[in-house]
Structure 1
Amino acid sequence: MSETQLRPDGPGPEKTHDQMTSPAADDATVAKDVHLSREFVDKLLEAVRAEDAAGARQICDDLHAADMADLLQVLPARERRKLLNLIQSDIDPELFHEIEGEARGDLYEITPNTQIADAVTELETDEAVYVLEDLRDEDREEVLRALSADDRVAIEESLSYPEDSAGRLMQRDLIALPEFWTVGQTIDLLRSDDADIPDDFYDIFVVDPAHKPVGTVPLSRVMRNQRGVALGHIMEKKPHVIEATADQEEVAYAFTKYHLISAAVVDESQRLVGVVTVDDIVEVIEEEAQEDILALAGVGESASVNESLFEVTRGRFTWLLVNLATAVLASVVIGLFDAAIEQMVALAVLMPIVASMGGNAGTQTMTVAVRGLATKELSATNAARILKRELMIALGNGVLLAVISGLLAWLWFGSPGLGGVFAAAMIFNLLVAGMFGLLVPMGLARVGIDPAIASSVFVTTITDVIGFFAFLGLAALWLF
């Protein structure tokens, strides 16, 4: 974890933190392409069960940390813990950042805190924070005490920012220079063995005397200009800056919209405190996309096959209980028309079709709305226009499906009246689905609830209840 910055009143570098380099950046060896074949896993399990530490180390020796994480996550819990004990002294620091789920808990439990502290010093700031934030409080404190003062201060400051914020995501490793520095001075600094600079970076940040970013200079621009040119003359002015407290979704949106490679992170005083790079954003985009998809199904983080049975059961039970309550509400509506259903059994046959079509149509609109809210394509500014558009789509689909379903009901049960009621209920419920499929996510977002998590329950309940009520109510009025 390092930051090289120059005092505006002098040419000498000021080193603010001890450098923490990533071994992955220095390692030029191409990792073996292992796809966790059955033969490979069986060979490893044989060594583990025989408690052959040397054999297990040899098998795992060429694995990239990401491949090793995948391997640990597919192994049975007992064999995983035995393997970790066998290779404990050879664990790659990057593994602490790559591993997930229940396997991550086993790794942290088996590895001594002193070894975790040694691994943290080898990671970039954002990766170190990712490791420490998942430790138990007492273990985190012990690991922090084992770090150098500079590293501990940097990590504690990052941990002070909200979870899933730019402050947690940012790296401290950056180059910050004043405007009057020349290209030649910059190149000499970057080539100096004494300079404490990051291993990998894309931009040089230009700062004013208050250490506020005033511009950025891509490395390519440094290399293409003469040595005597000042950075202030070739920098991109008004750099895109990100508040340290900004949510990582907002950061990912900014990177996507403005095609950023890296961006400065500033504190509440607008002073430069870190940098977010595009490789971190790729992980955020993938993580947020997975969260939204899983949330739409009501499973959340419990969808991982590596989570414990208790966590999975608890995570799914909550939403299943909510769905049970909404199903009871729909049944109450059906109970209001039990006399009509007794007189015409065809109503009970056709009811699920009306509710199913409304639910599916509502889910389509809801998915578009959730995506639109996430990508900023849907807002209060254009909500009326989008609602009108969705209602027109719902009306068009409703009419087409009403003709088909109405004729089907007529031919099936020989009742033109029933066919007409079925068609009318279909149109009405698809309109309701189009309306609430948009309004529910927007309403939830307005009150601060993640629409990806709660929308499906509300939309499905509304389309079921209104679909049953419309179909059975119209049947009671027109057919009896």
Structure 2
Amino acid sequence: MTHTDSASPAPAHEIETEDHVALGEDYALTASFVEKVVDAADDGDGMRLRGLLEDLHPADVADLMGFLTSEHRAVVVQWLPPELLADTLPELDDGIREEVLERVPHLTLAEALQELDSDDAAAVVEDLEDDQREKVLAAMPEVDRAAIESSLGYPEDSAGRLMQREVMAAPQFWNVGDTIDHVRRQGEELPELFFDIYVVDPVNRPVGGVAISRLLRAPRETPLIELMEPINAIDVDVDQEEVAYIFEKYNLISAPVVDTGGRLVGQLTVDDIVHIIQEENREDILRLAGVSDEDRSSGVLEIVRGRVPWLGINLFTAILGAGVIAFFEGTIQQIVALAVLMPIVSAIGGNAGTQALTVTVRALATRELTSSNAVRTFWRELTVGLANGLVLSPLVGLAAGFWFHDWRIGAVIATAMILNLLVAATVGVLTPLTLSKLKFDPAVSSAVFVTATTDFFGFLIFLGLATIVLL
């Protein structure tokens, strides 16, 4: 597949379409520009729309689509130049892309996909309905169709699905001059973006790589085997999160992808990895909050369906906490001050637990926390929890004692705070560690469990101590 390079974004003050500035100083689309596009779409002024959009970077067009209604997007898509449409499709949010694809004729879409690298084309085709996918693939040249079908044959979120099949390789016996001449002859067949020439053996297994910058500095007669360096080959079935970790750990900008026989089948480049890292971080943040994958195109019902189950679980855990309070109803009736102070104990425990949980989940994601240092990490967080308690509890204890004129109340809440902070540190570390050990995503449901546990034990410890000491 060939690809037409899009212009790199110019400084914000220089990006204008016709008589209107499109981007502000922060590289975000201006509200006035979006309004211009909406007005042109309302008027059905296609030429005006094309004039507004044709100089935008594909990423900015994709951003614009997120600000438009479904009706306005339907009009805008019709007037996007074919090359700009092709480059914009991979940049769109998944929900918006599915909607846009429904409105693009299959012949237009087939032509646009031929302008993309195989990884981007496969990502677009994946979102098509089965009948539309068949029509689009049937309208494409056999070579392009085979490349997309091959990519879709790999597991979702695997290196095979993410890789681009366009890759530059050279046999071991070539020298620098042979390689440079070969690259020049490729013309439009060159990958859109590549940083290395992979040196392969007679059965197409990569044995090393030569950076383009090093290749261009070497004399033409230099053999490639004298220039090549070790490579980090990635198997096609490796998960994308593992791929991102490999790139980050070894500071890679590209890496070859090999099949089960070790043969070169494609490459991954750093632009793909940036997207993966953002996607994985976004998923972790949303899951920690008990929120499903949402974007600007998500409807109200879709968002509600994603959030209600977690709120229901939260409601159940809140009832457990209420049960503890009900159990000590008699104590609270006799000492009303306890009802005033209970939220302090639960709140400080919940916040401390969330802190420990966030740090632990992040450390697990970046491989900074493994079985080799899990015990040390646990004791460190427990010590931090104790230190926080020793700093904060005297302040709260003294304030409560003066407020209610009873030093025993101050002692009870101070002790309860220290114990609950220890509970928070314990569950904040052990919950994600346990889920990870059981092969579950540690970000899922951890926050709900940690908050429920700190509330439950916070009430139990505080009211239990109050019953023993004050009654």
1:264 pairs with 2:289: no
Match of 2:291?
299
From 347, 356, 360, the counterpart of 1:356: 347
From 112, 131, 134, the counterpart of 2:127: 134
Match of 1:32?
15
Distance 1:222 1:91, change over 3 A: closer
Match of 1:466?
457
1:32 is aligned with what amino acid?
Answer: I
| Identity percentage of aligned residues | 47
Q: How far apart in 2 are the matches of 1:193 and 1:387?
A: 56
From 88, 100, 109, the counterpart of 1:95: 88
Distance 1:199 1:61, change over 3 A: closer
Match of 1:16?
none
Q: How far apart in 1 are the matches of 2:80 and 2:165?
A: 31
Distance 1:102 1:364, change over 3 A: same
- In terms of mean alpha carbon deviation, does 78-87 or 339-348 score higher? 78-87
Q: Which runs of 5+ in 1 are unaligned?
A: 1-19
- Cα deviation for residue 50 of structure 1 reads 1.6
Match of 1:115?
108
1:224 pairs with 2:217: yes
1:65 is aligned with what amino acid?
Answer: P
Secondary structure of 1:180's aligned partner: coil
1:408 is aligned with what amino acid?
Answer: A
Q: How far apart in 2 are the matches of 1:195 and 1:476?
A: 81
2:152 is aligned with what amino acid?
Answer: L
2:3 is aligned with what amino acid?
Answer: S
Secondary structure of 1:409's aligned partner: helix
Q: How far apart in 1 are the matches of 2:387 and 2:36?
A: 60
- Cα deviation for residue 376 of structure 1 reads 0.5
- Cα deviation for residue 61 of structure 1 reads 2.0
Distance 1:292 1:195, change over 3 A: closer
1:253 pairs with 2:245: yes
State how many pairs are aligned: 458
List aligned pairs for 1:68-467, cutoff 5 A.
68-87=61-80, 92-192=85-185, 196-237=189-230, 239-302=231-294, 304-467=295-458
- Cα deviation for residue 193 of structure 1 reads 5.2
Q: Which runs of 4+ in 1 moved over 4 A?
A: 27-31, 86-91
Contact kept? 1:266, 1:274, Cα under 8 Å: yes
- Cα deviation for residue 123 of structure 1 reads 0.5
Q: Deviations over 1:305-361 (max 9, x none)?
A: 321222111111121111111111111122211111111111111111101000000
Secondary structure of 1:181's aligned partner: coil
- In terms of mean alpha carbon deviation, does 100-109 or 123-132 score higher? 100-109
Q: How far apart in 1 are the matches of 2:8 and 2:428?
A: 51
Match of 1:3?
none
Contact kept? 2:158, 2:236, Cα under 8 Å: yes
Q: How far apart in 1 are the matches of 2:8 and 2:232?
A: 33
- Cα deviation for residue 408 of structure 1 reads 1.3
- Cα deviation for residue 300 of structure 1 reads 3.1
Q: How far apart in 1 are the matches of 2:243 and 2:412?
A: 50
| TM-score scaled by length of structure 1 | 0.91
- Cα deviation for residue 199 of structure 1 reads 3.5
Match of 2:26?
none
Match of 1:5?
none
Contact kept? 1:408, 1:419, Cα under 8 Å: yes
Contact kept? 1:88, 1:111, Cα under 8 Å: no
Distance 1:370 1:457, change over 3 A: same
Distance 1:159 1:393, change over 3 A: same
Contact kept? 2:117, 2:191, Cα under 8 Å: no
- In terms of mean alpha carbon deviation, does 378-387 or 155-164 score higher? 155-164
Contact kept? 2:424, 2:450, Cα under 8 Å: yes
Match of 2:3?
22
Aligned CA-pair RMSD: 1.9
Match of 1:17?
none
